[in-house]
């Protein structure tokens, strides 16, 4: 048997035995950490973009785990309603700030966040806030593109840079989840800007994981399609899942992996998506942009 035949066999074993086997173990058999015990009872979780979608699901799930919450999102009325319901349902403390991350490029934007969290034992940061890159009205595209870069990148950068050194000094471990996207792992032609910002999120997270290895659980969450406002609340069928399932999968992998797709459906989706030759994939992706939306 030649060297190339042996090498080819090993590659096939890796692709079709090891990767599926590791994925099955990770999603169905591996035990998750007790995050309350790991990060400290009575500590706080700070969640951005927490009034809808994935961020809102994180808020409810983490409160259920026993963490107090510090929520940041744009709409105060939504935050107030969520805070009231969570406090009543889970008997935890909830504080919130109504802030627009479209202004997160300004230094003064963070003053109130750092002031309000200074005396709290924050142990868990979830950088979830984000937005799509395409404006509804083409005339607003320049403004929307700038807002996308700012919203998707600035807050995540500054909050991680602020809290990571604090977390590293805590007696208990701490956690950071940076919400990226499967679109951040491979360029997507129908939305280059969104793909680029999600790639930034992923690299920022995975590089920091090495910087704070053994001290902080830092994980990039790279989901696929999730039925949220960003996806026009698409019906959860096929590879589209609900935000609660995305969050449950993410928390299960926290402390084990430096990145995750969250749910097993999205892990399978990424495997298939990355297996398509790039030129073929990019032409397929462009076809989605040119399709006319179906009328209700």
Question: Known catalytic residue: 194?
Answer: yes
The mean pLDDT value for 9-15 works out to 77
Q: Is the pLDDT of residue 100 over 50?
A: yes
- For residue 168, count other CB atoms closer than 10 A to its CB: 14
Rounded-to-integer distance, Cα 195 and Cα 183, Å: 5
Q: If DSSP states are collapsed to H, E and C, what string results for 216-273?
A: EEEEEECCCCECCHHHCCCCCCCCCECHHHHHHHHHHHCCCCCEECCCHHHHHHHHHH
The mean pLDDT value for 47-59 works out to 97
pLDDT of residue 21: 78
Q: Is the pLDDT of residue 26 over 90?
A: no
Using DSSP's 3-state secondary structure scheme, residue 50 falls into coil
pLDDT of residue 289: 64
Query: Which of 78, 72, 88 lies closest to 125, judged by CA?
Result: 72
pLDDT of residue 290: 52
Q: Confidence class of residue 294 from pLDDT cuts 50, 70 and 90?
A: very low
Between residues 26 and 247, the one the model is more confident about: 247
- Percent of the chain clearing pLDDT 90 (strictly above): 72
Q: Is the pLDDT of residue 25 over 80?
A: yes
Q: Is the pLDDT of residue 292 over 50?
A: no
Rounded-to-integer distance, Cα 182 and Cα 273, Å: 9
- Summarised one tens digit per residue, pLDDT across range 110-169 is 999 999 999 999 999 999 999 987 777 888 899 999 999 999 999 999 999 999 999 999
Q: Is the pLDDT of residue 291 over 60?
A: no
Catalytic residue among 39, 60, 96, 194: 194
pLDDT of residue 167: 98
Between residues 295 and 217, the one the model is more confident about: 217
165-172: list long-range contacts, CB under 8 Å, 24+ apart. 166/122, 167/122, 167/123, 167/125, 167/212, 167/215, 167/216, 168/212, 168/215, 168/216, 170/40, 170/121, 170/123, 171/40, 172/38, 172/39, 172/40, 172/43, 172/123
pLDDT of residue 283: 87
pLDDT of residue 230: 77
**Average per-residue pLDDT for the chain:** 91
- Summarised one tens digit per residue, pLDDT across range 193-230 is 999 999 999 999 999 999 999 899 999 999 999 998 87
Tokens of 3: 């060297």
- Summarised one tens digit per residue, pLDDT across range 167-181 is 999 999 999 999 999
pTM of the model: 0.91
CATH of domain 33-289: 3.40.50.720
| Consecutive H or E run containing 97 | strand 94-98
| Consecutive H or E run containing 114 | helix 111-117
């Amino acid at each position: 048997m030649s060297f190339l035949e042996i090498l080819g066999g090993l590659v096939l074993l890796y692709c079709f035995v090891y990767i599926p086997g590791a994925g099955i173990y990770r999603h169905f058999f591996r035990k998750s950490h007790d995050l309350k015990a790991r990060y400290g009872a009575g500590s706080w979780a700070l969640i951005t973009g927490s009034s809808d979608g994935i961020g809102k699901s994180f808020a409810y799930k983490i409160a259920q785990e026993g963490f107090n919450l510090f929520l940041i999102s744009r709409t105060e009325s939504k935050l107030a309603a969520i805070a009231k319901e969570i406090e009543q349902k889970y008997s935890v403390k909830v504080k919130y700030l109504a802030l627009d991350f479209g202004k997160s490029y300004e230094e003064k934007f963070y003053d109130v966040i750092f002031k309000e969290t200074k005396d709290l034992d924050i142990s868990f940061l979830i950088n979830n806030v984000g937005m799509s890159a395409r404006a509804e009205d083409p005339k607003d595209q320049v403004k929307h593109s700038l807002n996308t870069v700012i919203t998707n990148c600035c807050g995540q950068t500054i909050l991680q840079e602020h809290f990571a050194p604090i977390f590293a000094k805590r007696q208990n471990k701490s956690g950071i989840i940076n919400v990226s996207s499967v679109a951040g792992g491979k360029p997507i032609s129908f939305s280059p800007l969104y793909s680029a910002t999600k790639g930034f999120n992923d690299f920022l997270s995975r590089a920091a994981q090495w910087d704070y290895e053994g001290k902080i659980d830092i994980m990039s969450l790279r989901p696929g399609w999730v039925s949220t406002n960003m996806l026009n609340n698409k019906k959860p069928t096929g590879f589209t899942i609900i935000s609660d399932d995305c969050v449950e999968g993410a928390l299960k992998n926290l402390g084990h992996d430096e990145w995750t797709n969250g749910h097993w459906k999205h892990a399978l989706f990424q495997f298939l998506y990355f297996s398509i030759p790039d030129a073929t994939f990019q032409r397929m992706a462009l076809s989605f942009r040119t399709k006319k939306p179906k009328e209700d």
